[in-house]
Every structure is written in C-alpha cells, then in structure tokens.
Amino acid sequence: MDKLKPPHELKIAGGNLADRWERFLERFRWYLAAVGEDGSEDKKKVAILLTVAGAEAQEVFRTFTYEPAKAAVGNQPAVPAETAEQFNTVVRKFTEFCVPRKNVIYERYVFHTRVQGEGETIDSFTTDLRLKSQSCEFVSLQDSLIRNKVVVGIRYSKIKERLLRDSELTLERAIDICKANEAAQAQMKLLTGAENSASVNMIRKLKKMNLRKKQVEQATRNALTPKKKQCKRCGTAHKFRECPAWGATCDKCGGRNHYASKCFTRRVQVVGVDNDSTGDEGGFFVSALHNNTQQCEWIALLTVCDSLVPLRQRCPGEYTESERL
C-alpha cells in the first residue's frame, strides 16, 4: 500500500483555485485512508499533506499565522492556541486561502442562467446543476430547484411541454423522460441514416440505368440514320438535289453550279509556246500544258489579253490517231 501513487501537486497559480483545492483535499483524504495513515498523529499527516501538495503549497503554508490561546471569559470556554502541527487547523488555513467568501447572490445567478448546451446530454446537464447548487445554499429546496431548472433549461421544446403537463413531476422522473427522448432520437438517427443510404444507392442505380439506356438509344439512332456524303460541288452534306451551290457562279473559273473552294480547275505549271508556228499575224499556238497532278482530266485557266481562257486537257488515250500525228 505504501507504493500507491499520491494525488497530483496543488497548483496555486491560475484561476478556479477553490475548485482545485476541494478536489485535491478530497483525493488526499482518500490517499491517507488507502495507505493507512488517516489515523496517524496530526504532525505526520501535516507533513504528508505538505509533501504531496508540492512547493507552491509549501510557500503558502509559510505565510499562515495562528491564533494564540484564549482564556475563558464568562460563558465562553477557553480556546487552545493554534499551531502548524494541527492537521485540521492547517486544512482550514488552506481552505480560507483558496476559497474566498462566497457571494450567494452571484452563485444563484450562475445556477439560474445555466441552460443545456448543444449536444450536451441530460446526465451532464444535471450533474453540473448539482455542483453549482452546492454553493447556492438551497438546503431542502435543492432537488426541486434543480428539477425546475431542468424543465426551463432543456433545449427541446416538445420535451419541455411534456414535462410541464406533469403536475407531479419529480427530478428523477424528469431525468428519465429526458433520457428516453435522447435514446429515441439516437435510434431515429440510425434508422434515418439507413433509409437515406438505401435511397442514395437506389438513385445511383437508376442514374446508371438511365445513362445506359440513353447510350443505347443514341447508338441505335446513329445506326439507323444514313450517313450523308460530302458534296463535290459545295463541300457540305445535304439531301439529294438540294445542293446550295446549284445555280451559283464560281469566283475562280467563272463556271456555274459549284463554289470556288470545290473548283476543278488547276493552274498551268509550264506552258510551251511554239514561236515558229505559222498562222495569222498576232496569233500563237500552245504546244504543251504540263500538269503536275495525277488527275487525267483537268481544266487550266490561261490569261490571254487580260482575259481568262479555260483550257481542257485530255488524257493520252482520248486523242485520235490523226491528232497524235
């Protein structure tokens, strides 16, 4: 038992010193009982207290002053002197140092303004109300005032209405009703979550089915729709005998029923002129037109006196025997 871990040291600096001292003293008394020292003499218990409390508490201990002995006066009995070796005296001095005089009005204000926080359980709420009521000096009214505070401070309006309808409501019954409501809400949350999950999965499946259906319908339409070939006169795909170039004049060759972008004419790459040919004065003879393309039949534009003259070339097989000679 001597190897039991003692309580943590008492921290003097910082806020809420009264709460820390009360908790430390409670744990210290448990520790004394556990190690079998609760029945020891005062001097030893004071030494254990100061050792466990730590350096900050020891500095406070050195500032304590003690009342001398007082003789009996009239009906007042004699009062023995206070010393630093009296355990109860040392504990009282620490309590006076750590716990200032309570302002009951303020403590009751803190109690009555307490409401249930978001996500706070009814157990946590009522436990805190009990702790706060201890410094309010409610005495015999403590449970009834805590019950009232539960009804007023609970977050859920429907449960508040149910509690108000019970004319014989007790603190225990109010806590049981609030716990049942919390359990029901937790169960509904699980059920709703499962339903939402199932709904989401069903929606996803329906979306996939609809997507596949649309893809199949589009593929079917593409297969059934005949593909239109590109027109050689206008360069677009259109219905039969609905060519937009029909009746148009080509800007390149001057021909009709086709656009310049689809014109069949080609430029003359090499023109051979026979200067020795005889004929009328001012005339000339084109002896050769060289086509660099691989097409057999094509039309070339030749500029003669600032005018375009279309010339058609034939394939070698199209010439007659006399023309070849």
How many domains does the chain fold into? 2
Residue 163 within any structural domain of the chain:
no
pTM of the entire predicted model: 0.40
Residue 34 within any structural domain of the chain:
yes
pLDDT (tens digit per residue) in 281-292: 555 555 555 555
pLDDT (tens digit per residue) in 39-51: 899 999 999 999 9
Please enumerate in sequence order all residues whose Cβ is within 8 A of that of 146, keeping only pairs 6 or more positions apart, or say none: 126, 129, 130, 133, 171
Residue 282 within any structural domain of the chain:
yes
Torsion sign, CA atoms 140, 144, 146, 148: negative
Residue 172 within any structural domain of the chain:
no
74 pLDDT band, cuts 50/70/90, is confident
Residue 299 within any structural domain of the chain:
yes
Residue 10 within any structural domain of the chain:
no
274 pLDDT band, cuts 50/70/90, is low
Host domain of residue 313: 264-324
Q: What is the DSSP string of 111-163?
A: HHT--PPTT--HHHHHHHHHHHHTTTT-GGGHHHHHHHHHHHH-S-HHHHHHH
Residue 295 within any structural domain of the chain:
yes
Per-chain mean pLDDT for the chain = 80
Mean pLDDT of 164-191: 90
Residue 82 within any structural domain of the chain:
yes
